[in-house]
Amino acid sequence: MIYSGEHGSLRAVSEKIIHLHRSAPAKPALGQPCNGCGVCCALETCPAARLRFLQAAGPCPALEWSAQAGRYHCGLLLRPGHYLGWLPGAAEALAARLFARWIAAGQGCDCSSEVAPPDLPD
């Protein structure tokens, strides 16, 4: 972690390299609708995924790229039975609704991280 002093205060700055599909949309501004950029899930796992996969750091194992949609999706929301093998098929819709509520899906981007594109060779 890098600390830099600004007018007597300390501000924590850290950098992390994440790997996303080159066709992924750019990260929306904080509070804007989710566009499936994948940044948040590549950085860390949500509370639901932390319990399922027992990891806090990303990338989330349930982060799924959709070539057809050109965006990332949460596998726990789309295919809960795939990630919860013990889940009966009849309970998948309920599990998806619970996961959506737990992670506030559809409430807008809550990832405050700033993203810089990679330096690509000319």
Two tokens, residue 28: 């929306």
User: How many CB atoms neighbour CB 107 within 10 A?
Assistant: 12
Delimit the domains of the chain by residue range: 34-104
Walk along the chain (122 residues) in steps of 10 and give the mean pLDDT of each run: 37 78 94 94 92 92 96 94 92 92 87 80 60
CA distance from start to end of the chain: 30
Q: Which residues have CB under 8 Å from 68's CB, separation 6+?
A: none
Q: With 0.85 as the threshold, say if the pTM is over it.
A: no
Q: What is the pLDDT of residue 72?
A: 96
Q: Are 43 and 55 in contact (CB under 8 A)?
A: no
d(CA 11, CA 35): 29
Q: What is the pLDDT of residue 7?
A: 40
